[in-house]
């Protein structure tokens, strides 16, 4: 073949297995046998397992950050100087994620699950890589969230953004299982888009909650 697709097959298999099982729990042999390539191919093409992990993230994060950047440009153009509202920012964010071209119908939930894992699993090299490569679009999102919640102190905003990321990554990462449970329990089918549509008002309300750090009614 003119150009081998070995690299892509490895990336596809690794992406799926990482999302299912986490990084440490996924061996190179699982990946290469799922991808139907030789074991040595990973180290040949990527150099190491850690570099493969980073490559998996780069493959979807790079186009996503470009899409997001353009969508934010669009949003700010429509707002003509006025800072975008929190709901607008959140909606552009979820829309960009959902609208990304995905390799299959599981793409969006794999995407989310990987983001959650990047935060959760203590992979020092990954955190460094993501901070170096994607600090700019991340910073832009943070600035927009800040503009959308001018009433919050920096500390309040920081924590509430963490809560927001948690709710999103967690829900999306297990959206398949959650959708299935709901289907069995109430006979209702839900799309990822609908989940996102439910998530946005939840997050917006949480981010903007009045916050007289509630005192217990306990005696």
Partner DNA sequence: ATAACCATCAAACGTATGTTTTAAACATAC
Partner DNA sequence: GTATGTTTAAAACATACGTTTGATGGTTAT
Which residues contact its own copies (rule: CB under 8 A)?
A: 20-22, 24-25, 78, 87-88, 91-92, 95, 116-117, 119-122, 154-156, 158-160, 162-171, 173-174, 178, 182, 185-186, 188, 190, 195, 197-214, 216-218
Nearer to its own copies, 1 or 186 (CB): 186
Which listed option, its own copies, DNA, none, makes contact with residue 62 (CB within 5 to 8 Å by class)? Answer: none
Q: How is the chain classified by DSSP, letter by letter?
A: --S--HHHHHHHHHHHHHHHH-STT--HHHHHHHHTS-THHHHHHHSSHHHHHHHHHHHHHHHHHHHHHHHHHHHHHHHTTSPPPHHHHHHHHHHHHHHS--SSTTHHHHHHHHHHHHHHS--HHHHHHHHHHHHHHHHHHHHHHHHH-TTS-HHHHHHHHHHHHHHHHHHHHTHHHHHHHHHHHH-----HHHHHHHHHHHHHHHHT---S-PPP---
- Contact region for DNA (CB under 7 A) — 46-54, 84-92, 95-103, 205-213? 46-54
Which listed option, its own copies, DNA, none, makes contact with residue 67 (CB within 5 to 8 Å by class)? Answer: none
CB 156 to DNA: min, Å: 40
Applying the rule CB under 7 A, the residues between 50 and 89 that interact with DNA are: 50
Q: Where along the sequence are the contacts to DNA (CB under 7 A)?
A: 1-2, 4, 6, 26-30, 37-45, 47-50
């Amino acid at each position: 073949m003119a150009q081998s697709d070995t690299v892509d097959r490895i990336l596809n298999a690794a992406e799926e297995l990482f999302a299912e099982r986490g990084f440490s729990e996924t061996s190179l042999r699982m990946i290469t046998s799922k991808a139907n390539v030789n074991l040595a191919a990973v180290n040949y093409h990527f150099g190491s397992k850690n570099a493969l992990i980073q490559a998996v993230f780069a493959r979807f994060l790079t186009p996503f950050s470009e899409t997001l950047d353009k969508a934010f440009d669009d949003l700010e153009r429509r707002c003509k100087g006025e800072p975008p509202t929190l709901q607008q920012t959140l909606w552009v964010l979820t829309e960009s994620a959902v609208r990304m071209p995905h390799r299959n119908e599981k793409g969006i939930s794999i995407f989310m699950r990987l983001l959650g894992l990047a935060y959760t699993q203590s992979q020092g090299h990954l955190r460094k890589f993501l901070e170096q490569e994607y600090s700019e679009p991340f910073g832009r999102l943070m600035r927009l969230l800040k503009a959308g919640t001018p009433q919050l102190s920096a500390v309040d905003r920081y924590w509430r953004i963490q809560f927001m990321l948690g709710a999103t990554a967690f829900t999306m990462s297990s959206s398949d299982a959650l959708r299935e449970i709901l289907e069995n329990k109430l006979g209702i089918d839900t799309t990822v888009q609908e989940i996102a549509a439910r998530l946005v008002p939840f997050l917006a309300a949480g981010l903007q909650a009045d916050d007289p750090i509630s005192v217990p009614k306990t005696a």
